[in-house]
Amino acid sequence: MTWRGSIDTKDRIFAALPYLLPLISALEFGVFLIRQFPFFGIILIPLLPIVKLMSAIPFASFIIFLALYMGVVRNERISHFIRFNTLQAILIDILLFLISLVFGFIAAPLAGSLPLIVETLANVIFLGALAACGYSMVQSFLGRYAEIPAFSEAVRAQVP
């Protein structure tokens, strides 16, 4: 569905780019899956320069988060399509951050005794984030709003 004007090619590309942030955040959960199935590593090779750059800069994720939120989401001169997708990507990234905090407390005690459960949880989180980001990026490239339950509703409430 298209709202609030036409969506050109530039808007489609800029709307898909913010989904790289949660995709990079999800990589920490994909270690087990990438080790077992190298195909996933091949798919994610284009992200390696960005990952290297982000690891070289302290607090890079937080800086990017603030720049996207303050510079894009709250800037009404930018098209609604880009602001919608940017905030949705930020919300996915926040969810991944919260999951990583909880996962750190849960995985540490279980890693020695139940490694299969830890690997399964990490794989599910990684595949879920990969599916959400992939779906959203494809929808953005097609010029459609990516409808992810709960996220899209929250974004619509925040983006005027």
Which pTM was predicted? Answer: 0.89
Structure tokens at 140: 């953005």
Residue 73 scores a pLDDT above 80: yes
Residue that has been written with the tokens 């999951």 in this structure: 99
The owner of tokens 């001169």 is 77
Task: Check residue 100 and give its pLDDT.
Answer: 93
Query: CA-based angle 131:133:135, to the nearest 5?
Result: 65
Question: Whole-angstrom Cα distance, residue 97 to residue 118?
Answer: 17
Residue 122 contacts by C-beta under 8 Å, 6 or more apart in sequence? Answer: 29, 30, 31, 32, 33, 103, 107
- What radius of gyration do the chain's Cα atoms show? 17
pLDDT of amino acid 117: 84
Q: How far apart are the first and last CA of the chain?
A: 17
Tokens of 142: 């097609």
Q: What is the pLDDT of residues 107-136, one digit of tens each?
A: 777 767 778 888 999 999 999 999 999 999
Q: Is the backbone of residue 15 left (phi > 0), alpha (psi -120 to 50) or beta?
A: alpha
